[in-house]
Amino acid sequence: MIRNIVQVGDTVLREKCAPVTSFDESLFSLLDDMKETLRKAEGAGLAAPQVGVPLRAVVVDVEEGYFELINPVFVWQKGEQVGPEACLSVKGKSGIVRRPDKVKVIFQDRKGDKYSLVARGFFARAVCHEIDHLDGVLYIDKAADIRDEEDV
Ligand code: CO
């Protein structure tokens, strides 16, 4: 089911999200809906608070694949990249954001099993952006030079 993507100004985007503790049907449907909503919006990632659910769950859909990260935590961050970023909760805008170039994250999957991944480049940027959402942080808090996108 496609869910509504909440927009900047909604307080749920500013919450510190709670850890996921129940790996059950309601989590599965949340994640399935987030995937569907993300695909329809043609975005690179979506965090649960963006669909109004203040839980530590994100989905990322990039060249490297589709990932569901539950309770993600950085192990390390290395290097630096500076590049454009946008957010499905901040329609019609983009900005230049400094991010680590490479990150390692530990997380759980929808069954609660523990994994880790290393992401670099745009994948790392997407992971950092989505994890920020779980702490109520938006890219516009960090961006220089926020501008209107021309083709929106
Ligand atoms: Co976002």
Q: CA 118, 59, 142, 11: dihedral to nearest 10 degrees?
A: -150
User: What does the pLDDT look like over 118-127, one tens digit per residue?
Assistant: 999 999 999 9
User: What does the pLDDT look like over 13-54, one tens digit per residue?
Assistant: 999 999 999 999 999 999 999 999 999 999 999 999 999 999
Q: Which two tokens stand for residue 92?
A: 């019609």
Q: Provide DSSP, 2-29.
A: --PPP-TT-GGGGS-PBPP---SHHHHH
Instruction: Quote the number of domains for the chain.
Output: 1
Within-domain flag for 88: yes
Q: If you count them, how many residues does the chain have?
A: 152
Task: Determine the pLDDT at residue 152.
Answer: 44
User: ∠ CA 69-12-127 to the nearest 5 degrees?
Assistant: 25
User: Could you tell me the pLDDT band of residue 145, with boundaries at 50, 70 and 90?
Assistant: confident
Within-domain flag for 6: no
Rounded CA separation 99/122 (Å): 10
Average pLDDT over residues 55-82: 98
Percent of the chain's residues with pLDDT above 70: 98
Task: Determine the pLDDT at residue 117.
Answer: 98
Q: For all residues of the chain together, what is the average pLDDT?
A: 96
The reply to whether 130 belongs to the active site is yes
Range of the domain at 69: 11-151
| Residue 91 Cα to ligand 1 middle (Å) | 10
Model pTM score: 0.96
| Residue 47 Cα to ligand 1 middle (Å) | 7
CATH code, domain carrying 87: 3.90.45.10
Rounded CA separation 117/66 (Å): 12
Within-domain flag for 5: no
